[in-house]
Amino acid sequence: MPLQEPVLTKRIPTPPFGDFSQRKLISYEDFVATGGYVGLKKAIDMQPSDIIDTMKASELRGRGGAGFPAGVKWSFLPPQDGKPRYLAVNSDESEPGTFKDRMLLDFDPHILLEGIAICMRACQLDTTYIYIRGEYHHQAKVLNAAIDEAYANNIFGPNSIMGKINDREPRCFVHRGAGAYICGEETALLNSLEGKRGWPRIKPPFPAVAGAFGRPTIINNVETLAMCGPIIDRGVDWFKTMGVARPEGVPPHVPASYGPKLIGVSGHVNRPGVYEENLGITVREMIEKYCGGMRNGKKFKSAVPGGIAMGVLGTDQIDAPLDFDIGRNFGCLGLGTAGVIVMDEDTDMVAMARNVVRFFSHESCGQCTPCREGSNWVYKTLKRIEEGNGTTADLDLLLEVSGSQGAMPGTTICGLADGTNWAIKTFLNKFWDDFESRVKPSKIAGYSLPVLV
Amino acid sequence: MPWITKNSGTMQIDTREEAYLDEALKAEIEANIIPRYPDRRAAMLPTLHAVQHKVGWLPAQALKEIGEFLGTAPAEVMDTATFYEEYWLTPKGKYVIWVCQSISCELMDRESLMTKLKAKLSIEPGETTEDGKFTLMNVECLGSCGTAPCALVDEKLHENLSVDNVDAILDALE
Ligand SMILES: Cc1cc2nc3c(=O)[nH]c(=O)nc-3n(C[C@H](O)[C@H](O)[C@H](O)COP(=O)(O)O)c2cc1C
Ligand code: SF4
Ligand code: FES
């Protein structure tokens, strides 16, 4: 069933409920006039632990890429000890194909601030840092202005309607990054917040136990937090009428794909943009119903389901539903950010694979050898193939090298290497002919090794 | 790529009398930025941004001054600053044009855009025009893939670019 009414895009006109051209910045007054901060008021009347239980019951899963249930994450915090505890909002949004958080920040910053306040109240966090990528200059300004409005209206600050948290006044700040994709990885984000290089940390300890400045820290994506106000306001049952329920026979601890999701579509479609739909909508429906079909009437060749780290869908997988099970069911890493990149029949898959690996090679933080060296070798090999100088041995080598990045748990610190691995693996496996037709036969006999995962 | 090292062991740094991180800027950061964090080092990124905003780039002397101000070794300031692409440790042109090169922009033909820019400015990505006016850069995804191809000119994003509309944007900067 399609989305019946807009939720995250309630105030951001979006087809079919509204028109892109009608979008404008929502002020504090506009937000309150349209039911904003009602969720927060309800949260203030609840016990913090009840808010967490509600979030758990909603089964809201993280919208930043990994899909971890937010309520469960919130319940990992240790008991309060009177010292500061932090919320770090992940607004780094640098994964190619992903531009959804930007839309919320551009037009409805208070929906994020309400979610932040609810999370601070539920988890008893006194200080929030919104880590926003450096390139989002305009969005950082909008956010700062919205935070000023929120202080002026006692959402945060000395007279906050939340009272004191950990004996401190609730505070909220913007912290700007400076151009590094890896700072979206949650522990790299923390290092960057602390004024260091954005190097991911070895886990454990997990941030909920020892995060920013060594203190308990919750890290959530912008869209995840933006969903909290509507859930607290309208309830778990309402939220669970949207999206995909658990299939029959699946045990209740396995999270389902409830709720609506912002889906950003880019590439070869007539009307790219960020749309809101229930989880479970198919790639085909997104293209045909929302994006005005394929550009120039071309045929569909492939799509990235949600940011390039997820890999690609094959030509015959256009009916894949965009939900958190897409990885398992369609041979990719997962839903990721639901930033769908559509490619038409004329697309050069070798060039696209090269583009994707260049990204990961460039953005590798350099700590782990398989990621730093591996991605660079894969990039060079793909360039060689693209330029017509590759051999069949290169294809074997590609599968071997890419398959050993991140695939073996413990060989790399963070998930960036996994992304590289899945991107290459799916490009090669699903578009093998495109690659094979570009290479010459190798004279190295018997090179081919099986890929063991 | 932050792990590329340079042979700089014997390099002398250029210094000047006047501080880059002057008293006014220090006072502003002390009042508005430092109180946000539990320790001074956390003000590193905001301070680097502020100094770069004022000076245009980050001379070595400025890194030393930031180290003193925040109570960290200059080498640690350097360590942080070299990691991030937006910090300039060498001078740049008056305007920096960052053209996205990631997948959605490549799908939407950022290549012809770049070819046109290179020809118009007679420079390659990474270079600055002789008159010091423009620096041209390739950059990864700018988070605006739905309006690809796009480019950031300093702090302003330009969307849905093409060989036909890019002239107007540059000409407006003349
Ligand atoms: C290499 C890498 C990059 C990431 N980039 C982002 C990002 O830009 N934004 C984001 O919200 N999460 C990003 N994540 C996921 C975060 O680590 C983290 O899971 C997420 O912010 C948690 O929030 P959520 O549970 O609300 O989704 C990234 C992860 C990895 C491994
Ligand atoms: S996997 Fe790559 S990006 Fe992640 S910590 Fe290791 S080197 Fe850095
Ligand atoms: S790919 Fe160019 S803005 Fe995202």
Q: CATH code at A412?
A: 1.20.1440.230
Is the CB of residue B4 less than 8 Å away from at least one CB of chain A? Answer: no
Q: Which of A344, A367, A388 is the endpoint of a domain?
A: A344
pLDDT at B91: 95
Let me know: does A62 contact A68? Beta carbons within 8 Å.
yes
Residue A287 and residue A139 in one domain: no
Tell which of A344, A364, A390 closes a domain: A344
- Would you say A88 and A217 are in contact if contact means Cβ atoms under 8 Å apart? yes
Q: Average pLDDT, stretch A441-447? A: 70
CATH number at residue A275: 3.10.20.600
Mutate which of A197, A361, A378, A416 for ligand 2 pocket (most atoms within 8 A of beta carbon)? A416
Q: What is the pLDDT of residue A409?
A: 59
The answer to whether B145 contacts A363, with C-beta atoms less than 8 Å apart, is: no
Going from N- to C-terminal start, the domains of chain B cover: 17-83, 95-173
pLDDT band at residue A133 under the 50/70/90 scheme: very high
* Smallest CA–CA distance from A352 into chain B, residue: B103
**A195 vs B80: CB contact, 8 Å cut-off?**
yes
Mean pLDDT value across residues B79-91: 96
Domain that holds residue A223: 20-241
B22 touching chain A per CB within 8 A = no
- Where residue A57 falls (left for φ over 0; alpha for ψ -120 to 50; beta otherwise) is alpha
Q: How far is CA B165 from the centre of its chain?
A: 24
Report the alpha-carbon distance of residue A256 to residue A245 in Å, rounded. 6
Name the strand (E) or helix (H) holding B45.
helix B44-55
User: Looking at the structure, do residues A226 and A267 belong to the same domain, yes or no?
Assistant: no
Structure tokens at B80: 């942080």
What pLDDT band is residue A399 in, cutting at 50, 70 and 90? confident
Are A225 and A271 contained in the same domain? Answer: no
A8, part of any domain: no
Chain B residues lying within 8 Å of A366, measured CB to CB:
1-3
Q: Is residue A283 part of a domain?
A: yes
Q: What is the DSSP letter of B100?
A: E
| Segment A200-213 mean pLDDT | 96
Question: Parallel, antiparallel, or unpaired for β A273-278 and A339-344?
Answer: unpaired
Total tally of structural domains belonging to chain A: 3
Per-residue H/E/C for chain A? CCCCCCCCCCCCCCCCCCCHHHCCCCCHHHHHHCCCCHHHHHHHCCCHHHHHHHHHHHCCECCCCCCCEHHHHHCCCCCCCCCCCEEEEEECCCCCCCCHHHHHHHHCHHHHHHHHHHHHHHHCCCEEEEEECCCCHHHHHHHHHHHHHHHHCCCCCCCCCCCCECCECCEEEEEECCCCHHHHCHHHHHHHHCCCCCCCCCCCCCCCCCCHHHCCEEEEEHHHHHCHHHHHHHCHHHHCCCEECCCCCCCCCCCCEECEEEEEEEECECCCEEEEEECCCEHHHHHHHHCCCEHHHCCEEEEECCCHHHCCECHHHCCCECCCCHHHHHCCCCCCCCEEEEEECCCCHHHHHHHHHHHHHHHCCCCCHHHHHHHHHHHHHHHHHHCCCCEHHHHHHHHHHHHCCCCCCCCCCCCHHHHHHHHHHHHHHHCHHHHHCCCECCCCCCCCCCCCC
Query: Are the CB atoms for A258 and A242 separated by under 8 Å?
Result: yes
Higher pLDDT, A167 or A410: A167
Domain identity same for A222 and A144: yes
CB B143 within 8 A of CB A102: yes
Structure tokens that stand for A34 in this block: 């349209």
3-state secondary structure of B92: coil
pLDDT computed for residue A446 by the predictor: 56
Write the residue with the smallest CA distance to atom 13 of ligand 1: A184
CATH for B95-173? 3.40.30.10
Q: By three-state DSSP, how is residue B18 classified?
A: coil
Q: Do residue A41 and residue A110 come from a single domain?
A: yes
Which of the four pLDDT bands, split at 50, 70 and 90, describes residue A448? low
User: pLDDT per residue over B3-57, tens digit each?
Assistant: 556 666 677 888 999 999 999 999 999 999 999 999 999 999 999 999 999 999 9
Residue type, A242: M
Q: How far is the CA of A99 from the centre of ligand 3 (A)?
A: 8
| CA A182 – ligand 1 centroid, Å | 9
Query: Which of A310, A267, A263 lies closest to A290, judged by CA?
Result: A263
Q: What is the CATH number of domain B17-83?
A: 1.10.10.1590
- Answer yes or no: are the C-beta atoms of A105 and A112 closer than 8 Å: yes
* Nearest by Cα to A14 from A266, A290, A259, A342: A290
Ligand with an atom nearest the CA of residue A367:
2
Q: Is residue A252 assigned to a domain?
A: no
> Do the domain assignments include residue A336?
yes
**Considering only CB atoms, which chain B residues are within 8 Å of A266?**
104, 107, 145-146, 148
Q: What does residue A226 show for φ and ψ, rounded to 5 degrees?
A: -60, -25
Q: Residue A209 falls within a domain, yes or no?
A: yes
**Can you give the pLDDT at residue A87?**
98
* Integer Cα distance of A92 and A102 in angstroms: 10
Nearest chain A residue to B79 by CA: give it: A197
Report chain B residues whose CB lies below 8 A from the CB of A125. none
- The token pair at A402 is 């890419």
**Which band of pLDDT confidence, cut at 50, 70 and 90, is reported for residue A98?**
very high
Residue B161 has pLDDT above 90, yes or no: yes
Q: Is the pLDDT of residue A342 over 60?
A: yes
Does residue A4 lie in a domain region? Answer: no
Mean pLDDT, chain A, as a whole number?
95
Structure confidence at residue A250 as a pLDDT band (50, 70, 90)? confident
* Together in a domain, A354 and A336: no
> Measured between CA atoms, how close is A141 to chain B, in angstroms?
11
Chain B residue at shortest CA distance from A141: B155
Q: Which ipTM score applies to this complex?
A: 0.95
Q: Could you say which of A195, A308, A363 has the minimum Cβ distance to residue B43?
A: A195
Relative to the alpha carbon of A415, which ligand is closest? 1
**Residue A445: pLDDT band by 50, 70, 90 thresholds?**
low
| pLDDT of A410 | 67
Q: Is the CB of B148 under 6 A from ligand 3?
A: yes
Angle between helices A392-403 and A416-430 (to 10 degrees): 150
> Sorting pLDDT into bands at 50, 70 and 90, what band is A404?
confident
Q: Round the average pLDDT of chain B to a whole number and report it.
A: 94
Same domain, A267 and A359: no
Whether residues A197 and B83 touch (CB distance < 8 A) is answered with: yes
- Compute the count of residue pairs across chains A and B with CB atoms less than 8 Å apart: 150
Q: Tell me, yes or no, if A293 comes closer than 8 A to chain B by beta carbon.
A: no
**Centre of ligand 2 from the C-alpha of residue A404, in Å:** 14
Q: Which listed ligand is nearest to A335 at the C-alpha?
A: 1
Q: What's the mean pLDDT in B53-73?
A: 97
For chain A, positions 219-258, list CB contacts with chain B under 8 A: none
SS3 (DSSP) at B167: helix
Distance A171 CA to ligand 1 centre (A): 23
What is the pTM assigned to this prediction? 0.96
The predicted pLDDT at position B138 comes to: 97
Looking at the fold, whether A321 and A185 belong to one and the same domain comes out as no
CA distances from B82 to A191, B9, B89 (A): 15, 16, 8
Task: Place A397 in a pLDDT band, splitting at 50, 70 and 90.
Answer: confident
**Pairwise CB contact (< 8 Å): B141 & A366:** no
Residue carrying the six token digits 């006016």: B133
Question: What H or E segment, with its residue span, contains residue B103?
Answer: helix B103-107
Q: What pLDDT does residue B3 have?
A: 58
Facing B141 at nearest CB: one of A96, A195, A304: A96
For the residues A160-186, what does the mean pLDDT come to?
Answer: 97
- Looking at all shown ligands, the one closest to residue A55's CA atom is 1
Residue A94 to residue A183: CA distance in whole angstroms: 9
Residues with CB under 6 A from ligand 1: A 62-66, 68, 70, 90, 92-95, 182, 184-186, 219-221, 224, 414-416
Q: What is the DSSP letter of B36?
A: G
Q: Is the domain of A226 the same as that of A272?
A: no
Same fold, B17-83 and B95-173: no
CA distance A212 to B163: 45
Instruction: Region of A74 please: left (phi>0), alpha (psi -120 to 50) or beta.
Output: alpha
Judge if A144 and A226 occupy the same domain: yes
Q: Do B87 and A273 touch (CB under 8 A)?
A: no
- Report whether A408 contacts A291 (CB < 8 A): no
Of A102, A213, A352, nearest to B39 by CB-CB distance is A213
For residue A265, being part of any structural domain is answered with yes
Give the domain-ending residue among A185, A217, A241: A241
CA distance A154 to A389: 64
- B84–A contact, CB cutoff 8 A: yes
pLDDT tens digit sequence for A265-307: 999 999 999 999 999 999 999 999 999 999 999 999 999 999 9
In the predicted structure, residue B84 carries a pLDDT above the cut 90: yes
Q: Which residue of A has its CA nearest to B44?
A: A195
Same domain, A223 and A285: no
How far, in Å, is the centroid of ligand 1 from the Cα of A199? Answer: 14
Which CATH number is A46's domain given? 3.40.50.11540
* Cβ count near A284 (within 10 Å): 15
The answer to which of A123-132, A364-373, A404-413 has the lowest mean pLDDT is A404-413
Residue B2 has pLDDT above 60, yes or no: no
The reply to whether A12 falls in a domain is no
Q: Are residues A319 and A361 in the same domain?
A: no
Whether residue B60 has its Cβ less than 6 Å from ligand 3:
no
- Chain A contact present for B173, CB below 8 A: no
Residue B126 near residue A81, CB atoms below 8 Å: no
Q: What is the pLDDT of residues A315-326, one digit of tens each?
A: 999 999 999 999
Residue type, A116: I
Which amino acid type is present at position A190?
L
